Chain A
Amino acid sequence: MRPMTAWLLDLGAGRVAAVAEREMLHLVPDPQCFELPQTPVHCRRVLRWQDRILPVWDVAAWLGAEPWPAAARVVAVVGYQKRRREAPRYGALLLAAPPVRVKVTDDDACELLQDGAGWEALAVSCFRYREQPIPVLNLRRLFYPECN
């Protein structure tokens, strides 16, 4: 079975998730982000990136942690498609540390993490890595909340 590569994301507050290798596009250390008023607490800031203005998701805040901790020093620009064959769309994720590449096989698939935090709304699947269940983020659902 051929292993696939994923990026392990330290979201802060002890939360860890993953995205597929192809979804990770760019890491921005010490990003200059701008807060927009009247926005949800987990997605209050935007990042200017390549003539675009991208929403920055703070997944740990969505899961109940203090939003935008001072320790957050990295933003990952990610790409996703709203529908197959569509041009990629972009968003950003707040990270506590640079991501780590890991190899995953189908045998690593496991039940979604059930810690009461609400991962089922954010994750598309889950795999086990070093005995820890790692939810795989559904970027389409994060950045287009009406999508399943």
Chain B
Amino acid sequence: MANERRTAGRSQSLREFAHAVLKLEHLALVLPRSDVRTLEAAADLEAADPPPNGVGWIEAERGRFPVYCFSPELEPLARPPAGRRICVVLDAGGEIFGFLASEVVLLEKSEQPVHTVPRAMAAPGSPVLGVTVYADAVACVSSARAILSHARLSLEAA
């Protein structure tokens, strides 16, 4: 939670942490790189008997973890769209899970500021904790914890 507060807080910048950019088609999600444990091939996903709101399971680091897949609108999907070839294994404060992305870019710290989500746009439970600029476009700042929490919240709402 402390990490989320830091990310969502006033006038931050990406210089606080190296980060990873997870592309979900046109959407770029920026996470602290420390949230990323490993990168696996989505082809290794076991789709049988998926977890609630998930798309399957992945074996990594001598464990078997649930895998989630969100649309670019950040809604959980039951089936991954074509092109989600990377399973990013994320660590949400000790809870490990996989998250499917079409592309992953690992970046060093930068001076790019992180802005808070404008008040008129903020939605409770949204995994978008802030906004920043990446590759000359606006990207969403999130965290492994926020993504996992959103997957579970969406399940409760369903």
Contacts and interface: CB of A to CB of B under 8 A. Distances in A.
Interface stretch (A1-9, A20-28, A69-77, A138-146): A138-146
Q: Is the interface of B mostly helix, strand, loop or mixed?
A: mixed
B123 interface: yes
A91 interface: yes
A10 to B, nearest CB: 21
A36 B138 CA distance: 8
Contacts of B72: 37
A40 B113 CA distance: 24
A114 interface: no
Given A36-B131, A37-B140, A145 B74 contact: no
Nearest to B118: A55
Interface size, B (range): 20 to 34
Contact of A36 (B113, B119, B140): B140
A53 B11 CA distance: 12
A48 B137 CA distance: 9
B157 interface: no
A143 B119 contact: yes
6 contacts: A37-B74, A37-B140, A39-B123, A43-B118, A51-B113, A146-B119
Interface of A: 34, 36-40, 43-44, 46, 48, 51-55, 57, 91, 142-146
